[in-house]
Amino acid sequence: MDKNGLLRNLPKIDELLKEDKLNYALNTSSRIIILEAARKVIDCYRGKLLKEEIKDYSKEEVIEEILKEINKKSLSNLRKVINATGVIIHTNLGRSILCKEAVKNVMNVCESYSNLEYNLEKGSRGTRYEHIEQLITKLTGAEAALVVNNNAAAVMLTLNTLCNDKEAIVSRGELVEIGGSFRVPDVMRFSGAKLVDVGTTNRTHLYDYENYINENTGVLLKVHTSNFKILGFTESVSLEEMAALGDKYNIPVMEDIGSGTLIDFSKYGLSYEPTVQASVKNGIDVVTFSGDKMLGGPQVGIIVGKQKYIDEMKKNQLTRALRIDKITLAALEGTLKMYLDESLAVEKIPTLYMILSDEKIHEKRAYELSERLKKELNDNWRIRVDKDYSMVGGGSMPEEKINTYVVKIKNSVYKPVQLEEILRKNETPIIIRISKDEIIMDLRTIYDKDFEIIVEALKDK
Ligand SMILES: *Cc1c(COP(=O)(O)O)cnc(C)c1O
């Protein structure tokens, strides 16, 4: 058939909709989406015919293209990706994956009404925080707890409550930027606290804080410099000394520990990351930390500390604006319950498992993935297993390099940057690292169930 004939014969939309396959798509997609997809594909074929980029087509082929387009349109913008980077707490990729129990909790609470603010014992109004406060105090040893939207909010609420129009004394070495534009000095300004930075970048002594204490001092603040380390000639004040200084002058001592782990990673052969329990035990009055970093839960900011300070925060109007919703609450309770048994937590909470699991496990898995790829891919591919390092990420344990195994892949036709793009634009996007002439997939952050998707994404290329 000539060009004009082919153009004239392009299937009509209403005819197409009568086709079984598209009619069947109506079960799962709306009519509008199917119509839009059909129009787009037909327009595309018309364009290609006019430009003589194609010489022929079949109706079946057009229908398949429309089905693909429907599929694309049905995907959510926010969707699953495979994190093959080996950065475990990857802020761009959603930080922590929830454990199964947390997800189950979320489903339960979202598919029905819940007792979010209803006290079932008394049959009267309750508060959303009472569901988890006891669990948090039990795990951390603190007197009281409050949960807000994220740790930035936790810091802001704490400073606003304890230090509005007053001075917060902080070491110059701890005026950090965490990334995603969390800068300690900026957050402090927003909270209404006046920043008084003392000491020097590398050394701050107890007397540096003490010298600046006056009747207008609101808090003594310590910030965990999560994402960098100052090495060499350094000095900082211990938690006990800070707590004692606060006691002496009757000024609350607050600590933002960022990552907020509840388990001591040094027990497992990694570097020590400050635990929440240690800060509480050492007498810090208020401690704030993230829920989706090393804790491995949903995005929240957890505030623990002395009852009187937490009570004041609960009354602060800002708390209403920073409150968490039931989805978050359900996820947090599901996560925290795991910590009642540490052996369960390190097994079931993905973030902890990824950090702590034995490299030998990932060696075996790397060979499994590489064998599957070798079996399915053509001769243009070179695939090998190698040792490498994973990172904790999320500004936590910046120095810790965790031994891991990776699959390294190269192709004689596609350059690494092209492979990166192909994988990134896959229906389930696969995010990888590039090193020289190879792409790298780290098994530590990939699930077994994702092997199939990875193989499919590269097959026939
Ligand atoms: C990550 C971090 C924050 C910000 O926490 P979000 O939960 O991301 O809001 C604040 N302070 C420290 C020390 C951090 O490490």
Q: 260 CA distance to ligand 1 centroid (A)?
A: 9
Cβ of 149 below 6 Å from ligand 1: no
Residues 176 and 301 in one domain: yes
Residue with tokens 């079949």: 58
Q: Which of 348, 365, 388 is the last residue of a domain?
A: 348
Residues 280 and 409 in one domain: no
Residues 260 and 177 in one domain: yes
| Separation CA 295–CA 355 (nearest Å) | 11
Q: 290 CA distance to ligand 1 centroid (A)?
A: 6
Please give the biggest Cα pair distance in the chain: 94
> By the 8 A CB rule, do 335 and 98 touch?
yes
Whole-prediction pTM value?
A: 0.91
Residues 407 and 332 in one domain: no
Residues 86 and 105 in one domain: no
Q: Dihedral angle at the C-alpha atoms of 219, 222, 227, 229, nearest 10 degrees? A: 140
Residue minimizing CA distance to atom 1 of ligand 1: 258
Name the nearest CA neighbour of 46 among 91, 74, 11, 82: 11
Pocket test for ligand 1, best of 151, 221, 227 (most atoms within 8 A of CB): 151
Angle at 255 between CA 262 and CA 202, to 5 degrees: 110
Residue minimizing CA distance to atom 2 of ligand 1: 258
Residues 368 and 319 in one domain: no
Residues 105 and 126 in one domain: yes
> By the 8 A CB rule, do 254 and 158 touch?
yes
Q: Which of helix, strand or coil describes residue 24?
A: helix
Beta strand 286-290 with 253-258: parallel, antiparallel or unpaired? parallel
Cβ of 396 below 6 Å from ligand 1: no
Q: Which of 295, 314, 348 is the last residue of a domain?
A: 348
Cβ of 224 below 6 Å from ligand 1: yes
Residues 305 and 441 in one domain: no
Q: 151 CA distance to ligand 1 centroid (A)?
A: 5
Pocket test for ligand 1, best of 170, 177, 178, 223 (most atoms within 8 A of CB): 178
Partners of 144 in beta bridges: 305
> By the 8 A CB rule, do 455 and 374 touch?
no
Task: Specify the pLDDT at position 262.
Answer: 97
Task: Specify the pLDDT at position 81.
Answer: 98
CATH code of residue 429: 3.90.1150.180
Residues 221 and 339 in one domain: yes
| Separation CA 101–CA 78 (nearest Å) | 22
Backbone angles phi, psi at 125, to 5 degrees: -55, 135
DSSP characters for 222-248?
EE--TT----SS-B---HHHHHHHHHH
Cβ of 158 below 6 Å from ligand 1: no
Task: Specify the pLDDT at position 226.
Answer: 65
Cβ of 261 below 6 Å from ligand 1: no
> By the 8 A CB rule, do 385 and 406 touch?
yes
Residues of the chain with pLDDT under 70: 178-181, 226-234
| Separation CA 448–CA 430 (nearest Å) | 14
> What letter does residue 193 receive in the DSSP assignment?
P
Residues 41 and 155 in one domain: no
Record the tokens describing residue 194, joined without a space.
């006046």
What number of other Cβ atoms are within 10 A of residue 182's Cβ? 18
> By the 8 A CB rule, do 395 and 223 touch?
no
Angle between helices 151-163 and 307-315 (to 10 degrees): 100
> By the 8 A CB rule, do 226 and 176 touch?
yes
Atom in ligand 1 nearest the alpha carbon of residue 225: 13
Cβ of 151 below 6 Å from ligand 1: yes
| Number of structural domains found in the chain | 3
Cβ of 395 below 6 Å from ligand 1: yes
Residues 116 and 233 in one domain: yes
| Separation CA 280–CA 154 (nearest Å) | 16
Residue minimizing CA distance to atom 3 of ligand 1: 258
> By the 8 A CB rule, do 33 and 21 touch?
no
Record the tokens describing residue 249, joined without a space.
């002058």
> By the 8 A CB rule, do 207 and 171 touch?
no
CATH code of residue 231: 3.40.640.10
Range 66-70, long-range pairs (CB < 8 A, 24+ positions): 66/16, 66/22, 66/34, 66/37, 66/38, 66/41, 67/21, 67/22, 67/25, 69/37, 69/40, 69/41, 70/25, 70/29, 70/33, 70/34, 70/37
Residues 145 and 215 in one domain: yes
Residue 325 half-sphere exposure toward CB, CA atoms < 13 A: 4
Spell out where 8-80 has E strands.
none
- Residue-number span of the structural domain to which 440 is assigned: 82-91+357-458
Q: Which of 297, 327, 348 is the last residue of a domain?
A: 348
Q: 253 CA distance to ligand 1 centroid (A)?
A: 18
Positive/negative CA dihedral, 271, 276, 277, 283 = positive
